[in-house]
Copies of this chain bind each other. A is one copy, B any other.
Amino acid sequence: MYSAGISYLIELFDCPPDILDDDVLIGSRIGDAVGHANATLLHQVSRRFEPQGVTAFALLAESHISIHTWPELGYAAIDIFTCGERAVPEQACRYLVSALEAGRHSVRQVERGVGLDENTSKPQLEPSGIVASPVSA
């Protein structure tokens, strides 16, 4: 069964607000996460919002990583979307859970483009599996 890649949707809770509100630190951590994912960074941007909150994005040869933070809630939403055999997004998950010092977290995996077949011009879509799975920090 061919799929185009996997999206990891990660929820971090009970993170220190000062970490989540530091755009330089979050930008550094997303860069480190690219390395942990064994991925290739093509473009990176981070932005701090007023009065609080940070968004950081890393465009990869293998798709992308995004981080959006809500310091006032101790919460961050992270997406890691990778394709190809070489990337190891699970390592980036574990790294970010640890690096952003989450007290609790959840990870959902969503397969993308399931049912695509490179040899078929009209691929049949089957319902994509969505799996909630803990990833230990």
A interface with B by C-beta (< 8 Å): 4-5, 7, 9, 11, 13-14, 42-43, 45, 47, 49, 55, 57, 59, 61, 63-64, 66, 68, 70, 72-75, 77, 79, 81, 83, 104, 106, 108, 110, 112-113, 116, 118, 121-123, 125, 127-128, 130, 132
In the complex formed, the residue of B with least CB distance to A63 is: B68
Give complex CA distance A127, B63 in Å.
Answer: 27
Distance between A15 CB and nearest chain B CB, rounded to angstroms:
12
Q: Which residues of B contact A116 (CB under 8 A)?
A: 13, 70, 73, 75
Q: Which residues of B contact A61 (CB under 8 A)?
A: 49
Give complex CA distance A66, B82 in Å.
Answer: 13
